[in-house]
Structure 1
Amino acid sequence: MWGHSQVVCTMTESAGAVIGINLGHSYGSIACINQHGRADVIANEDGERQIATRIAFNGDQVYMGNQATPQLIRNAPNVIDRFVNLLGRSFSDLTDAEKDRASAAVIDHNGAPAFKVTIDDKETVLTAHDVAVRFLRSLFLTAKDFLSGVPIAGAVLSVPQWYSEAQIAALKAAATEAGLIVLQTIAAPAAALAAYGLTSPSGPGKLPSAPDGVESAPYPHGKELDRNVVVVDMGGSSTDVTVVAARGGIYSALASVHDSSVGGFALDQALINFFAKEFTKKTKVTIGDSDKRAWAKLRNEAEFTKRALSASNSAQCSVESLAEGIDFTGSVNRMRFDMLAGPSYGKVAATVEKALQQASLEACQVDEVILAGGSAKLTGLVDRLSMLFPEESETTRITGSIDADQVIARGCAVQAQLIAATPSENVEGKLLSSLPFKPAAEVAELKAAATSKPFGLVLDAPKGSDDKQVVDGKLFVTLVPAHTPLPVRRTYRLPVAQGAGQVALTFAEGDETVRVDTIAPPPADEDDEDDEPLEPEEVKTAVTKPAAKVVELLVALKSKGAKKLEVEIVVDASSGVSVTAREEGDKDVAAQAKA
């Protein structure tokens, strides 16, 4: 798995329940495996599955999560939020934007980021670590209450792809102090992929069967085990885009881009500005810059409005006594909101394009886009992302059947269950227990050599074929794609022409390229003078053409009644290729070659 771990206890499934935790910068969530074997996100005592990463203090009262949100209006200096990304960092590393907030100010405490608040009439300094311990302990207690008596034997926590070793260590230390047994930390995009079980075989010798959650649609033929995937994680404070090669349930990151300038807060701000103008237009009253209480009220309601728009076509924003004692009620429909959010959606699309460029891929070479993060639920973002990919593409899917704000926690629970079910004495268990808590890119055990080019079967295309995949009369059928971790073994069953006595097979490496076809626009209507001439359209298609010939096999068949040929391809760790062919059901090798 693509993560970092160290199993700190000997455990089995009978030792108790395991949980997954997504501790986001804006919201946190907890998931566990239900009685049907599926991952579910746990609701807290207020019925909330998305819990604001926020703590507030008022006298001797402590408010956790969403209960702390109203305190931003009444008692903002004693509200601590946006603390997660401060873990494991020094105060001097923080940007002005990270320090600027309407809640408790970030201060320097012996070089570490901290907050000064009043608790029970006493001025108290809490470091980011102290706050994280308190919040994680509340999540732990929520899980314990939900599981009512079942011990919690361990947890898997998600971390952003860009987290450093110091940040991972700081999160683990806070979770451990909060009472959790940390089994593993896993990169957020890997958790999203694990939630879907993307390209993971459904059993020995079986192809993956559920690519899209519960309401699954079948994989396109030939794409069951191998898919190029883009994970778009749009959270509250930032957006992360990761390009992944998913190969038989093994995930390799090809590129990752972090953009801290766009997230749910930017969408909230667009709504805040819109409603503030509406208020001024209706009442002739302008909300002053110094009226922090009014802006806090509007900010809280704008977030609720945004969430409502993810599920309906219109939503209201109602604020009692917004400014100068005047109430405000406004509404916005989804079309207007998408216009307001357009610049943010454009930034996310640009981040996707940047990540694809770093991965040396074109949009037409992407098979799937996975949505994660609360803001990714918005239909306007999905519409904007769909513009990046070819309209006629039948393979590029934007997948969000698992709620985007739940998918990471659920993936962590899936990984926790996998660890719990792995005996500690076998090879896999020993590997899990030996992995350090570091970014995946820095863990030698998680690095594997991979194919740099695809390997496949070369066929002569029928004369006059208009298949876009045909290059110079040859059709390349990919059997082992690029970026497949080594060693790899693949077995295919190829049909044999009726009555054939022998079969000639040619295998080669391939060169991946993009074919660009220019489609001329339809002729303009001469009677309509207002019509502007249309531009020619460029259509891009991913194409693989044969490069170096590697292996040729001439297979003599024992009987002319053979219907299928079983071909096994093995590429070892040093990139040596072995191809073996036998008639289906026959143990004897009919032909073999190595290169």
Structure 2
Amino acid sequence: MAAFGVHFGSTSACLAVYKDGKTDVVANDLGDRVTPCIVAFTDHDQAVGSAAKQGKIRNAQNTVCNVKQILGRSSDDQLLQQYMDNSPVKMILQDDEPVFQVEHKGQPKDVTPSKIAEAIYLRMLETARSHGDGDIHDSVLAVPCDFSEDQKQAISESANAAGFSVLRTVSEPVSALLSYDIGQTDNTLECNVLVIRIGGESTDVSIVKVQNGLYRVYCSQNSTAVAGSKFTDSLTDYLATEFYKKYKLDVKESRRSLKKLRLEAENVKHTLSTLGNAQCAVDSLFEGVDFHCQVSRARFESLISSLVQQCPSLIDGLCSTADITKTDIQKVIMCGGGTKIPFVQKIITDALPNAEILNSIPPDEVIAIGAAKQAAILTGSDETDIKVNFEQSEVECLKKSICVKAASESTCQLYPVFPSLTPFPCRKHETVTLPSHQTSFKLELCECSNNNSVDADLGKLVMQDLPKSAVVSIVFHLRRDGSLHVTCKEESSQKTVSITVEVQS
């Protein structure tokens, strides 16, 4: 029985399968091991993947890219607003949901982001069918650490609608660790693993603590300043300058010509990840002029140096947040197409000279392979090589502290109930004895980055008409789904109040 892992990124998607004791990435019908996350609508059909990529030049107003960024986001989300402002495809809000307005087969058509994602998953399903054993395609989806429950639900619904049977979602850094079986073959292993993923639109850096076969994502940080698209932008600017030097023509005067040049810059970037030199060739780039030039890897490295040099700072900042030093990092896993660039690998390796660099799996395949192994665990596809119960292998943690607020006329004190990085589910019990003159009790809950400032008020409970010297029993239950349930009960009267709130896990 086959089990699948799917990594749906901002710019590309990858599918891996676990079958007959082996895990490998499944190539699509073009022989590519990753598929562009692009959907284009034309007068004749709907194209997905590489076939849709050319639409970014000739059919930009009907070609949707980077849809993962807005899946499951609310209409007032700032990132959604920014996406809509910059989208070459016309977008509107319809019943508080973003909608793409495209032209398909000569007719106007409204398409939701979830339908775009479904089309991409459907293409991945077609690839999966070539390695499946029937109509059931059990799968695990890898998602970013900062994905909300709404985003996880949205991406799962799109995959299910396409025909996958989604077992669960799992965080990308955990998938990366499982791809290398860290802590799974030796449950006594204890180590800190840094996972850095440089994708098309952002960079994620995470520290995962491995102990007794359990994974605890200690902390994670996201940056849009370093990304594969930024590398492509730098190379595009250089090529545009070279074209101007040679022909005294400014390619930036034509949006279409600039897109053609950027598409070629992306090809050059990929070539320079494996070769020392690459040829740039664009026929009829601007005003009928062909453009040909050679780019060396050294030149490319100088163009992206200022961007790549930000990676050590991201690592330093994350270690500071986790209250560890770089020498406490034992292993490093690089993920995402951006880490295929040798210069990027060198900068990260130099920043962590004492750590073991795990790089035997192609960076853009690591996360999908880990997700496939997780799917195999959940389905019992392999009982000899994988013996871990995955339901217990990943421990989720709080990103921020949950505190009780005690306010008086002059001060406001915060008392942490669950400090940041507390793994959940978790339960805590407290007892409070009130002064004899006090007949009411108020408990205010808040979320804090530290013990000195309130980030968000979560809710409050109020008990009134209590007996003298009342004893209030308080139970805090941080549930598996990330919600917090609090119950207050006065012991003598048995009066009880409770509240359930959502927290940012």
Q: CA deviation at 1:69?
A: 0.6
In structure 1, runs of 5+ residues without a counterpart are 1-15, 202-206, 209-223, 444-482, 487-595
1: CA distance, partners of 2:264 / 2:16: 27
Q: CA deviation at 1:272?
A: 0.3
1: CA distance, partners of 2:294 / 2:137: 47
1: CA distance, partners of 2:270 / 2:136: 32
Residue 277 of structure 2 is matched in structure 1 by: 314
Residue 501 of structure 2 is matched in structure 1 by: none
Give runs of aligned pairs for residues 421-570 of structure 1, distance below 5 A: 421=380, 432=391, 440-441=396-397
2:224 pairs with one of 253, 260, 263: 260
In structure 2, runs of 5+ residues without a counterpart are 400-420, 425-505
Question: Quick one: which amino acid aligns to residue 113 of structure 1?
Answer: P
Question: Quick one: which amino acid aligns to residue 32 of structure 2?
Answer: E
Residue 414 of structure 1 is matched in structure 2 by: 373
Mapped contact 2:374–2:390 kept (Cα < 8 A): no
Q: CA deviation at 1:149?
A: 5.2
Answer yes or no: is 1:362 the counterpart of 2:318. no
Residue 364 of structure 2 is matched in structure 1 by: 405
2: CA distance, partners of 1:182 / 1:441: 23
2: CA distance, partners of 1:188 / 1:105: 31
1:282 pairs with one of 216, 225, 246: 246
Q: CA deviation at 1:97?
A: 4.4
Instruction: Quickly say closer, same or farther: Cα 1:104–1:69, change in 2 above 3 A.
Output: same
1:288 aligns to what SS in structure 2? helix
2: CA distance, partners of 1:91 / 1:288: 33
1:177 pairs with one of 161, 170, 178: 161
Map Cα deviations across residues 375-413 of structure 1 (whole Å, 9 max, x no partner): 1111111111123234xx3xx122211000000000010
Residue 129 of structure 1 is matched in structure 2 by: 114
1:299 pairs with one of 243, 247, 262: 262
Answer yes or no: is 1:272 the counterpart of 2:240. no
Give runs of aligned pairs for residues 17-416 of structure 1, distance below 5 A: 17-35=2-20, 37-95=21-79, 97-101=82-86, 103-144=88-129, 146-147=130-131, 150-201=134-185, 207=186, 225-289=189-253, 291-390=254-353, 393=354, 396-416=355-375
Q: CA deviation at 1:100?
A: 4.8
Provide the aligned C-alpha RMSD in A: 2.8
Question: Quick one: which amino acid aligns to residue 298 of structure 2?
Answer: M
Q: CA deviation at 1:358?
A: 0.7
Mapped contact 1:382–1:398 kept (Cα < 8 A): no
Instruction: Quickly say closer, same or farther: Cα 1:51–1:439, change in 2 above 3 A.
Output: farther
Residue 478 of structure 1 is matched in structure 2 by: none
Instruction: Quickly say closer, same or farther: Cα 1:239–1:429, change in 2 above 3 A.
Output: closer
Instruction: Quickly say closer, same or farther: Cα 1:321–1:363, change in 2 above 3 A.
Output: same
Question: Quick one: which amino acid aligns to residue 208 of structure 2?
Answer: V
Residue 478 of structure 2 is matched in structure 1 by: none
1:163 aligns to what SS in structure 2? coil
2: CA distance, partners of 1:380 / 1:40: 27
1:275 aligns to what SS in structure 2? helix
2: CA distance, partners of 1:166 / 1:369: 30
1:269 aligns to what SS in structure 2? helix
Q: CA deviation at 1:111?
A: 1.7
1: CA distance, partners of 2:70 / 2:138: 24
Q: CA deviation at 1:138?
A: 1.7
2: CA distance, partners of 1:296 / 1:158: 31
Instruction: Quickly say closer, same or farther: Cα 1:62–1:375, change in 2 above 3 A.
Output: same
Residue 204 of structure 1 is matched in structure 2 by: none
1: CA distance, partners of 2:113 / 2:313: 32
Map Cα deviations across residues 478-526 of structure 1 (whole Å, 9 max, x no partner): xxxxx9999xxxxxxxxxxxxxxxxxxxxxxxxxxxxxxxxxxxxxxxx
1:68 aligns to what SS in structure 2? helix
Mapped contact 2:398–2:423 kept (Cα < 8 A): no
2: CA distance, partners of 1:124 / 1:244: 44
2:76 aligns to what SS in structure 1? helix
TM-score by length of 2: 0.74
1: CA distance, partners of 2:389 / 2:346: 45
| Count of aligned positions | 399
Mapped contact 1:109–1:127 kept (Cα < 8 A): no
TM-score by length of 1: 0.63
2:362 aligns to what SS in structure 1? coil
Q: CA deviation at 1:112?
A: 1.7
Instruction: Quickly say closer, same or farther: Cα 1:485–1:330, change in 2 above 3 A.
Output: same
Q: CA deviation at 1:114?
A: 2.1
1:387 aligns to what SS in structure 2? helix
2:317 aligns to what SS in structure 1? helix
Instruction: Quickly say closer, same or farther: Cα 1:120–1:247, change in 2 above 3 A.
Output: same
Mapped contact 1:164–1:439 kept (Cα < 8 A): no
2: CA distance, partners of 1:186 / 1:367: 23
Pick the structure with greater CA Rg: 1
Q: CA deviation at 1:363?
A: 1.1
Question: Quick one: which amino acid aligns to residue 374 of structure 1?
Answer: G
1:147 aligns to what SS in structure 2? coil
Instruction: Quickly say closer, same or farther: Cα 1:228–1:324, change in 2 above 3 A.
Output: same
Mapped contact 2:397–2:422 kept (Cα < 8 A): no
Mapped contact 2:396–2:423 kept (Cα < 8 A): no
Q: CA deviation at 1:22?
A: 0.3
Question: Quick one: which amino acid aligns to residue 249 of structure 2?
Answer: V
Mapped contact 1:368–1:399 kept (Cα < 8 A): yes
What's the % identity of the aligned pairs? 30
Instruction: Quickly say closer, same or farther: Cα 1:429–1:173, change in 2 above 3 A.
Output: farther
Q: CA deviation at 1:152?
A: 3.1
2:324 aligns to what SS in structure 1? coil
Mapped contact 1:270–1:341 kept (Cα < 8 A): yes
2:397 aligns to what SS in structure 1? helix
Mapped contact 1:226–1:247 kept (Cα < 8 A): yes
Instruction: Quickly say closer, same or farther: Cα 1:318–1:124, change in 2 above 3 A.
Output: same
1:174 aligns to what SS in structure 2? helix
